[in-house]
Chains A and B, each alone.
Chain A
Amino acid sequence: MGATLLQKVWDLHTVRRLPTGQTQLLIGLHLVHEVTSPQAFDMLRLRGQRVAFPDRTFATVDHIVPTDGQLRPFADDMAEQMMAALERNCREFGIPLFGLDSGDQGIVHVIGPELGLTQPGMTIACGDSHTSTHGAFGAVAFGIGTSQVRDVLASQCLAMDALKVRRIHVGGALQPGVYAKDVILAIIRSLGVQGGVGFAYEYAGPVVERMTMDARMTLCNMSIEGGARVGYVNPDETTLAYLKARRFAPPGEAFDRAARWWRSIASDADAIYDDEVRIDGSGLRPMVTWGINPGQSAAVDERVPGPADVPDGDRAAVTDALAYMGLEAGARIAGTKVDVAFIGSCTNGRLSDLQEAARVVRGRRVARHVRGLVVPGSRQVREAAEREGLHDVFREAGFEWRQAGCSMCLAMNPDRLEGRELCASSSNRNFKGRQGSPTGRTLLMSPAMVAAAAVAGEVVDVRRLLTGDGA
């Protein structure tokens, strides 16, 4: 009987069974950022402990950095304090920091893969729920809280409960204008925002096999929005090609040895799953959220549901969501007027995301009433985009072209919504107040759909704008 990747990686990293019944799991790569780590380092100091594996710990700064100018000290004194604390902690505990002066700074889930730190078969932890992103490489990667950051710093281990595995098979082929973002939004709509609790999601099938690494990262990134702390794709030739010659990937012959091991870690053909779900990728359309959690979404040509359209237990939630969003049951989601367009985040701030958005924007103008923001996920993404002239495409269309950071995804930096502004956003959460205004509203969609909404001034089917551009 075969094993899943999750089982193989779990067994390889098991240190011992704890008296509580949990597994003591070794963490192969620990990523650290400025928001969830300062208290963990303080606890370590208080207990007189050192970082157990400083050479398996890497830090960067992303959540709090301003994106319209990154000169120090930051105008926000609290942000400056957090930045200074991270610098001090990294110095004191011997942890490499990809800071603002490094050329490699960026969103932690963008730079880990980009630098080749993220590799198949690893266990990866970070004090951030979107750590599931790294599962795109066939790693078992998950978000943790600050006390667990302390645990990993002190021991390079976590006390973990075993996970079940649900295989999500996406068959067929995606239509032009339909992206990984639409796939994951459709999956979450179908399985629910809590459906993945206790599971790792294994994404498989022809649609996933044909996806680029960027697309797989988008897919795995939002696993947590479906309740699954872990999401992964089995490593294949696409994974290996991405990793080759990355800075922290094994060089030369070591890469060939690594590749053999990486292939061996993939789920066996006869692996047994705790659950299996099949989705038809060919039938998927561009998705847009209409509510206040990522499961509340519709295809762009569908109507906003009402309380009467859902089971009894969900009626109150739908009523609450529509009231907050100011949307009417039965209205078309297309045509919803937008105030802000945000392209970026750990979900969709990579080069291919910017390329797809630029394809829509080229030769068009952002609608007069829309504030458009393009925020590359990392400095490397920014430079690569500029080498292709994408910054000019966006600027000429009326977008702001910003520095790398988490930006308007989460409102810990100066980029945020004002009042009841409605934002077409390529980010991952449409929670109440998520983008910084307690009454601000978020519609999640693919970067291409955000670009389309920016130029139309309202939600529009991006496929209409893509036809005839030679795509």
Chain B
Amino acid sequence: MTITGTAVALRGEDIDTDRIMPARFLRAVSFDGLEAHVFEDDRRAGAAAGTSHPFDDPARAGARILLVNRNFGCGSSREHAPQALARWGIKAIVGESFAEIFFSNATALGVPCVSVAPEAAAALMELADRDPAGAVTVDLDRMAVRSGPLEAACAMPGAARNAFLSGTWDATALLTADFAAVREAAARLPYLSGFATGRA
């Protein structure tokens, strides 16, 4: 599985999901339209300070690969954050590291998050800055990220990679496939029968 597209670089450590999707936009019963508000407060603050946010750069409007630094997506478990990024057009995220719940949420949406060394993240960002039209490829078969002359090794937990390679990142079908086994596991747990017997 490979994903290819132009890239947008978003520098910064510990970018939390409140910043990706401010809480006021979670007041809704669907995910529709969230892409309009991705990084909204950061973008406004940038505009006010005269430093344009990468997501406001017209040259990045069609970007499919998001380049980030360390601990991206920390904080709140809100899936609204990866939903907004995916709806904005992001198909894969390349960064130094990811927060755990964000990683799970992105995986469940079919958006792979791969980790690269800090030097590789910096080099990929520099290349993307220099050439907005430059294609970046995230290759999950060979676990590599390519951009122009650069090829960087990337990493991802084996199970998530398997899920992408086998097309089973939406786990519901897997989890409902063997319901007898679920019932069996439930029957083993004393608290699900109100501790009714002395077996514990």
Chain A positions within 8 Å of B, measured between CB atoms, are: 12-16, 18-22, 24, 26, 28, 35-36, 38-39, 42, 47, 49, 52-53, 56, 63-64, 76, 78-79, 81-82, 85, 119, 121-122, 127-129, 143-148, 150-151, 154-159, 161, 193-194, 197-198, 224-225, 227, 229, 250, 254-255, 257-258, 260-261, 264, 293, 313-314, 316-317, 320, 410-412, 429, 431-434, 436, 438-439
Contacts and interface: CB of A to CB of B under 8 A. Distances in A.
Contact of B174 (A18, A78, A148): A18
Nearest to B186: A26
Interface of B: 12-14, 16, 18-19, 22-24, 26-31, 41-42, 44-45, 70-71, 74-79, 82-83, 97, 99-101, 104-105, 108-109, 118, 157-160, 162-163, 166, 168, 170-172, 174-176, 178-179, 181-182, 184-186, 188-192, 194-198, 200
B77 A15 contact: no
A15 B99 contact: no
A459 B159 CA distance: 47
19 contacts: A15-B181, A19-B174, A24-B181, A47-B172, A63-B26, A78-B28, A79-B27, A81-B28, A121-B191, A146-B31, A146-B79, A147-B170, A194-B14, A227-B99, A254-B195, A257-B197, A429-B16, A438-B22, A438-B45
Given A20-B174, A78-B27, A429-B18, 5 more contacts: A14-B185, A26-B185, A146-B31, A293-B74, A410-B18
A320 B12 contact: yes
Nearest to B108: A147
Contacts of B178: 15-16
Contact of B159 (A21, A64, A144): A21
Contacts of B24: 411-412, 436
B42 to A, nearest CB: 8
Nearest to A119: B191
A293 B172 contact: no
A12 B77 contact: no
Contacts of B71: 193-194, 197, 227
B200 A264 contact: yes
A322 B186 CA distance: 51
B18 A85 contact: no
A432 B41 contact: yes
Give the most central of B14, B22, B160: most A CB within 10 Å.
B14
B100 A229 contact: yes
Contacts of B45: 438-439
B29 to A, nearest CB: 4
Contacts of A121: 191
Nearest to B105: A145
B116 to A, nearest CB: 16
A438 B157 contact: no
Contacts of A320: 12
Given A13-B189, A20-B162, A261-B195, A412 B23 contact: yes
B29 A39 contact: yes
Contacts of B174: 18-20, 24, 159
A336 B137 CA distance: 49
Contacts of B27: 64, 76, 78-79, 82, 412
Nearest to B118: A313
Contact of B200 (A49, A76, A151, A261): A261
B101 A229 contact: yes
Contacts of A147: 79, 105, 108-109, 170
A161 B157 contact: yes
Given A197-B99, A410-B23, A412-B26, A28 B159 contact: no
Given A19-B168, A155-B176, A35 B77 contact: no
A129 B29 contact: no
A194 B190 contact: no
A26 B182 contact: yes
Given A129-B77, A157-B182, A293 B101 contact: no
Contacts of B26: 35, 63, 412
Give the most central of A19, A20, A255, A429: most B CB within 10 Å.
A20
A145 B78 contact: yes
Contacts of B41: 432-433, 438
B189 A28 contact: yes
Contacts of B79: 36, 39, 127, 145-147
A159 B101 contact: no
Contact of B97 (A15, A145, A197): A197
